[in-house]
Amino acid sequence: MSLNDRESWGVTNLRLAFPKKKSMLFKDLSLDYQKGEKILLLGPSGCGKSTLLQVLSGLVPDSVELPMRADRHAVPDNWGFIFQDPDTQFCMPYVDEEIAFVLENRSISRNRMSQLIHHYLDMVDLKLENSHQLIRTLSGGMKQRLAIASVLALEPDVLFLDEPTALLDPRGTVQLWQTVRRIGNDRTLIIVEHKIDHVLDFIDRVVLFNHKGEIFADGPKVTTLARYREKLDDFGIWHPGVWKGYEEKQLDKSDDTFGELILELNHFEVLHQKRVKLFIEELMIHRGEWIAIIGENGAGKSTMIEGIMGLLHTKGKLSWTFPHPEDHVQFVFQNPEYQFVTDSVEDELAFSLRIKKMNEDEIARRVDQSLERYALKEQRLQHPFQLSIGQKRRLSVASAMINHPDVLILDEPTFGQDARNTFALLDLFQQLRQEGTTIIMVTHEMEIVSRFATRTLTIDQGRLVKDTLNESSKEEKRFGYGFDEHEHVIF
Amino acid sequence: MDTVLTNTNTLFFKINPSLKFILISSLFIVYLFVQNLNTMIWASLFFLILYYFVSGLSGKWSFWFVLITLIVSLFSASAMILFGKGSHIIYHQSLILITQESLARGVLLGLRTFTFSLIGMIFATTTLPVPFFYSLMQQLKVPVRYAYGCLAAFRMIPIMAEEFMHIRQAMRVRGMTRQKGVKAFCERMTRYTITMLAQSIRRAQRTAIAMEAKRFSMTEKRTYFYEIGWSRNDVYFVIILLLTVALGFVFSSYFPLTPYTNVLDQ
C-alpha cells in the first residue's frame, strides 16, 4: 500500500501550555495520521489526550484559545467531534431541531431537512416514534448516539471521539461502539477512551502517552498493546483482562458472617409527585452485608436508596434499629460535587463533626486519619472542585465515613472512574465492610456484583423482582409478585 | 414546562411571535400612560377575560398565578394607599394616612401591576421559545448568535432545576439543613450559588465549544428549519387585542364607575 497518495493531517513539534501553569502540557509533540486510519490514544488521566484531540480538530486554538505553536498544523476539512458529556453537546430542546441546527449551519435547503434528519437518525440506529422528542427525555446512551447523528450531518471524513462512553452504563457503551463501528467504516477515527473492551476490534493503531504528555509508543494495535500491556494497568485503562489482574493482587476473600438486623422494610412505597415509583413488599438488611442493587436505567434503583434515606416521600414500614438513623447511615451521591459544602478538603471532612460539636482536637485527629487513609494529604487545603475525578470521589466517601457510620449507601460510586480509581475504591469498601460497615450500592458493573456483593437486589419497573445471595449459598428465591404465593429470603 | 402548558394548538400559539412580542410590548407603554382609574378598571377586567380564554396555562396553574398576581398587586397598591397625599382624609393614625386621592392612585397602580402581569402571561404562556427565537431572527433580524445563545440557555433551565434538587438533597444528607439561624441560611445560599455557578459556567463553555464544533458561525448565511411566516391568525390577533383595548376605553367613558378620571389631579 503506498502511503503517499493518501491525505494526511496532524501536528509537528506542537508546544502548548495552559495559562497560569508553569510547565508546558506538550513540548515538541508530533502526531500524523492518514485518511482511513483508526487510531486509539491511550494514557493516564490528565496527560493531555483530550487537549491534543482538540488541537488535531482545530478547536484549539480556533474556539478554545490556548497559547500554542506548531511547525505544522494540518486540520482536515470535514471533521466531527463527539464530546464526553451527553448533556452539554446540544443547544436545541428537541431531537429533530438539534440535527436541523447542523443542517442550517451547512445552509442545506429547508425542504430536504426532514428527510435528512431521518436518514441520520437511522444511521445511528436511534429509533424514536417521533423525531420531535425532547432531548432530555433520552437516556445517556441515546443522547450520545444523537450527538453522533448530529455530527454525521456534517458529513465528516474524520471523527474525533473524546471518551464518548465515560458517562454511559455498560449497555449504552456497547451500543455506542456498535454505532461508531458501523458508521466509521469508511471514515478516519481518532479515539480517546478509557474503556477499550469494545474499541479494540476495529482500531488499527495505538498511540500511548506518558504522564508528562509525551508519546512513548506508536504502532499497530497488536504489537504495541502486547509490548506495553502492564502500562494499561498503570494508566487505569479498562481493558479486557483488567479484572483478572486485579483479582490476582487481591487476596483476602472475607467471610460472610452477618450480624443483627439493622433495617426492615415492609410494604414500602416510594412516591414521586404522588405516584408510586417503587414498591417493596418485604426486605431485611443485616449488619455486614454488601448489597448491590442492579437493574435497567430508570427501573427505580436510585429511587429506592433515596427513599431509604428519606429524601423522597415514602409510605409503609421503614425501620432502622438505630435510635437516630441520621447518625448511623450515610449517603454518597453519584455526582460528588453536589455534596461538597465547604471550600477546602479538610473543612469538608470536618464538617459533619463540627455540626455534632465534637471537640477540635478530636476533629483534627480524625481529619488527619482520613486524609491519610483516603490519600488526600497533599490536597488538604485545595478547594474540593479543583480535585481530580478520583480524588473527588474519595473525598465524598471520606466525608461520609468520618462519622464512623454503620451503613454506607452509595449511588453508582464507580461511575465515570478509571480502573485504577475503581479498584482503590473497592479495596476501601472491602476494608470498611470487614470493619463492620454495611454497604448498599447501586451499580451497573456486573463484575463488582459478582466479585464483591454478598447479596444482589434486582429492581425492575419499580419492583424488587429478585433477591439473591451471592457466594456462600448461591441460594436464589424469587418474589412471587402477582402470584398467590410469595416467599422471602431468610437468613 | 411541558406539563404546565395545556393544548398548544390554539389561536394564540399560531400567531407570528415577533408580531405578538411587539404588540404586547406596546400595550405596556399604552397602559403606562393611562391615568384614568375607570379605564384601568375596565381594562383589567377585559384582560382578565381575555387571559381566561387564551392563556396556555392549565387550570390549576392559572388559578394560582392570578391569585399570586392579585396579592402582589395589592402590595404595590398598599404603599400608595397608606402613605399618599390628599385633602379628603378617610383614615389617619400616626404614620398611616389614607385619603380619597391616594386610594384612587393606589388602586390604579395595583390594577396596572395586575394588567401588566396578565398581558405578560398571555404572551409568555402562548409562545414557545424555539419559534419565538426563529421569528426574531427572521422577522426582526436579531443576530443569530444571540438567538441560538438564548435557546441553548433555555435548554439549561430544566437541567439546573434538577441540579437544584440534587444539591438540596445533598445538603440534607450532609446535615446542613439541621443548622438553624441567619448565618446558616446565608451559608446555604452561598453553597447553592457557588455550586450552581460552577456547574453552569462549565456547561455553558462546553456547549459553546460543541456548537462551534458543529460549524455554528455567527456571520455566514444560514437556512432555517422552521420558517415563521404570516397567516390570517395574525389579523385575528390584532383585531382581538385592539378590541380588548378599545372596549376598555369605551366602557370607561360610557360607564364610569368612579369619579377619578385623572388620578394625578389634586
Enter the C-alpha cell of residue A209.
502517552
Buried b (16+ CB within 10 A) or exposed e, B217-239: eeeeebbebbebeeeebbeebee
Q: Do the Cβ atoms of B151 and A341 come within 8 Å?
A: no
- Which pLDDT belongs to residue A486? 39
Q: Say which residues have a Cβ less than 8 Å from residue B170's Cβ, sequence separation at least 6.
A: A333, A338, A339, A341
Distance, C-alpha A142 to centroid of its chain:
16
If we measure between CA atoms, which residue out of A213, A219, A220, A217 comes closest to residue A230? Answer: A217
DSSP string, A145-160: HHHHHHHHTT--SEEE
Q: Say which residues have a Cβ less than 8 Å from residue A97's Cβ, sequence separation at least 6.
A: A132, B130, B225
Distance from A476 to chain B by nearest Cα, in Å?
A: 34
Which ranges of chain B does DSSP label H, i.e. alpha helix? Answer: 17-32, 37-54, 59-83, 100-124, 129-139, 144-174, 182-213, 232-254
Name the β-bridge partners of A26. A16
Enter the C-alpha cell of residue A166.
465515560
Q: Tell whether omega for the bond before A325 is within 30 degrees of 0, i.e. cis.
A: no
For chain A, positions 91-110, list CB contacts with chain B under 8 A.
91-94, 96-97, 100-110
Tell me the per-residue pLDDT of A408-432, one tens digit each, with 9 for 90 and over.
Answer: 999 999 988 889 889 999 999 999 9
Distance from B132 to chain A by nearest Cα, in Å?
A: 13
- Residue-wise pLDDT tens for chain A (491 aa)? 445 567 899 999 999 998 887 888 999 999 999 999 999 999 988 888 999 999 999 999 999 999 999 999 999 999 999 999 988 999 999 999 999 999 999 999 999 999 999 999 999 999 899 999 999 999 999 999 999 999 999 999 999 999 999 889 888 999 999 999 999 999 999 999 999 999 999 999 999 999 889 999 999 999 999 999 888 988 889 988 888 888 766 645 555 567 889 999 999 999 988 899 999 999 999 998 999 999 988 889 999 999 999 999 999 999 999 988 888 999 999 989 889 989 999 999 999 899 888 999 999 999 999 999 999 999 999 999 989 888 999 999 999 999 899 999 999 999 888 898 899 999 999 999 988 899 999 999 898 998 889 999 999 999 999 999 876 433 343 343 333 333 343 33
Q: How far is Cα A102 from Cα A183, in angstroms, rounded to an integer?
A: 18
Nearest residue, CB atoms, A338 vs list B166, B220, B225 = B166
Which ranges of A137-241 does DSSP label H, i.e. alpha helix? Answer: 140-152, 170-183, 221-227, 229-235
Q: How far is Cα B72 from Cα B66, in angstroms, rounded to an integer?
A: 10
Q: Do the Cβ atoms of B207 and A89 come within 8 Å?
A: yes
| DSSP letter assigned to residue B262 | -
Nearest residue, CB atoms, B155 vs list A90, A104, A351 = A90
Buried b (16+ CB within 10 A) or exposed e, B118-141: bbebbbebbbbbbbbbbbbbbbee
DSSP string, B16-27: -HHHHHHHHHHH
Using a CB-CB cut-off of 8 Å, the residues of chain B touching A92 are 130, 151-152, 155
Q: Are B139 and B228 in contact (CB under 8 A)?
A: yes
A290 SS3 class: strand
Q: Say which residues have a Cβ less than 8 Å from residue A342's Cβ, sequence separation at least 6.
A: A348, A351, A384
A482 SS3 class: coil
Q: How far is Cα B13 from Cα B100, in angstroms, rounded to an integer?
A: 43
For chain A, positions 28-87, list CB contacts with chain B under 8 A.
57, 59, 62-64, 80-81, 83, 85, 87
Pairs across A and B, CB distance < 8 A: 131
Name the β-bridge partners of A460. A463
Enter the C-alpha cell of residue A491.
437468613
Q: How far is Cα A98 from Cα A89, in angstroms, rounded to an integer?
A: 10
Using a CB-CB cut-off of 8 Å, the residues of chain A touching B224 are 104, 110
Q: Are A377 and A371 in contact (CB under 8 A)?
A: yes
Using a CB-CB cut-off of 8 Å, the residues of chain A touching B212 are 59, 62-63
- Which pLDDT belongs to residue A368? 95
The ipTM, to two decimals, is 0.88
For chain A, positions 249-268, list CB contacts with chain B under 8 A.
none
Name the β-bridge partners of A447. none
Q: How far is Cα A289 from Cα A452, in angstroms, rounded to an integer?
A: 10
Which of B146, B212, B225 is the mutation pick for testing A, counting most A CBs within 10 A? B225
A9 interface with B at CB cutoff 8 Å = no
Using a CB-CB cut-off of 8 Å, the residues of chain A touching B216 are 91, 101, 105
Q: Do the Cβ atoms of A88 and B210 come within 8 Å?
A: yes
Q: Are B147 and B137 in contact (CB under 8 A)?
A: yes
Name the β-bridge partners of A331. A409
- Which pLDDT belongs to residue A469? 87
Q: What is the mean pLDDT of each run of 10 residues along chain B (266 residues)?
A: 68 94 95 93 95 87 92 91 83 85 92 95 93 95 93 92 92 84 90 92 94 85 92 95 95 91 77
Helix (H) or strand (E) holding A409: strand A407-411
Nearest residue, CB atoms, B223 vs list A81, A91, A109 = A109
Q: Are A303 and A272 in contact (CB under 8 A)?
A: yes
What residue type is A212 in one-letter code? K
Enter the C-alpha cell of residue A181.
463501528
Q: Say which residues have a Cβ less than 8 Å from residue A88's Cβ, sequence separation at least 6.
A: B203, B206, B207, B210
Name the β-bridge partners of B91. B98
Nearest residue, CB atoms, B209 vs list A64, A102, A150 = A64
How high is the mean pLDDT of chain A?
89
Is the four-CA dihedral A387, A390, A392, A397 of positive or negative sign?
negative
A159 interface with B at CB cutoff 8 Å = no
Q: Do the Cβ atoms of B209 and A105 come within 8 Å?
A: no
For chain B, positions 125-164, list CB contacts with chain A under 8 A.
129-130, 148, 151-152, 154-155, 158-159, 163
